[in-house]
Structure 1
Amino acid sequence: MKKRLGVVQSILGPETDFRGVFRGEDAVQIEGFFEGELYVKSDVYVAEKSTVKATIHAHRVIVSGEVIGDIEALQTVTVTQTGRVYGNITGNELHVEPGGLYKGNVNMDVVSNYNDYEGMAKFVR
């Protein structure tokens, strides 16, 4: 992945096939297949050759692979030049690089979904 926002503590490798609910405090990078729900208090990175069929709740999200599902970020959602997102995005900022693909609706009213960053605590247990 080209852009890094923080230190990744958890990696779901390229041969990983995970289905279910993932909850965590620290940044996670997905390089394989993930289906379900992600609740991460930090950042989520979707690597170039990965596929995520999930609802993602995180601080920041960078998509270089494919996401099929909704993304809720307290800060920025970035779709890189190789990224593809099919779903709704809620966040403070949305960046779609040239070549990136996004199909869905955008809601920039993050405050109505989470009063503050601590609102994410209900997702991470």
Structure 2
Amino acid sequence: MIGSTKKSPRPEPTSENVVNRIAKGTSFEGVLRSENNVRIDGTFEGELVTKGRVVVGNSGKIKGTVTCAHCETEGEMEGTIVVHELFVLKASAKVHGDIQYGQLSVENGAQATGSLHLTSKVKDIQSNTTREANKEESKSGVRQTAAV
């Protein structure tokens, strides 16, 4: 309405647009659990768990355990990193540790050292082996176990 003094209500933030930030020049030690996205431009040491995305900026550093759905890093990460879906290493990224991912994208110049594990393929192999063992069991009537 023209000339109205009523303010329209602000839309409620959704998990897609809410970002928890640790700014450049800020350090955090401890446990951070979130339903939303997290951006690190400062220093984080500890455990970070989110159902959303983790973005590590060029000045960002993480040391510890990270568990998330998606991760994109331009900075440094060290420790145990579990990314259930896509893990993107930008050209300036330096990652070291035990790294598990669903998909991996690495730009030229990025550094990754340690152990890298493709988790979705491991799950597929295990479930296929179990299905094959169950088929054999139903055909022969004898239970067989499969070692993976």
2:97 maps to: 87
Relative to total residues, which structure has the larger helix share, 1 or 2? 2
Alignment counterpart, residue 60 of structure 2, candidates 39, 50, 55:
50
How far residue 51 of structure 1 moved from its aligned partner, in angstroms, is: 1.1
Q: Is the 8 A contact 1:21 1:36 kept in 2?
A: yes
Q: Over aligned residue pairs, what C-alpha RMSD do you find?
A: 1.4
TM-score normalised by L of structure 1 = 0.80
How far residue 8 of structure 1 moved from its aligned partner, in angstroms, is: 4.9
Larger Rg belongs to: 2
Unaligned runs of 5+ in 2: 1-15, 124-148
> Between the two proteins, what is the percent identity of the paired residues?
31
Q: How far apart, in 2, do the equivalents of 1:83 and 1:89 lie? A: 14
How far residue 7 of structure 1 moved from its aligned partner, in angstroms, is: 3.6
Unaligned runs of 5+ in 1: 1-5, 113-125
Alignment map for 1:58-73 (pairs within 5 Å): 58-73=68-83
Q: Is the 8 A contact 1:61 1:76 kept in 2?
A: yes
Q: Is the 8 A contact 1:65 1:82 kept in 2?
A: yes
> For this pair of structures, how many residues does the alignment match?
107
Structure 2 residue 78 is matched with structure 1 residue 78:
no
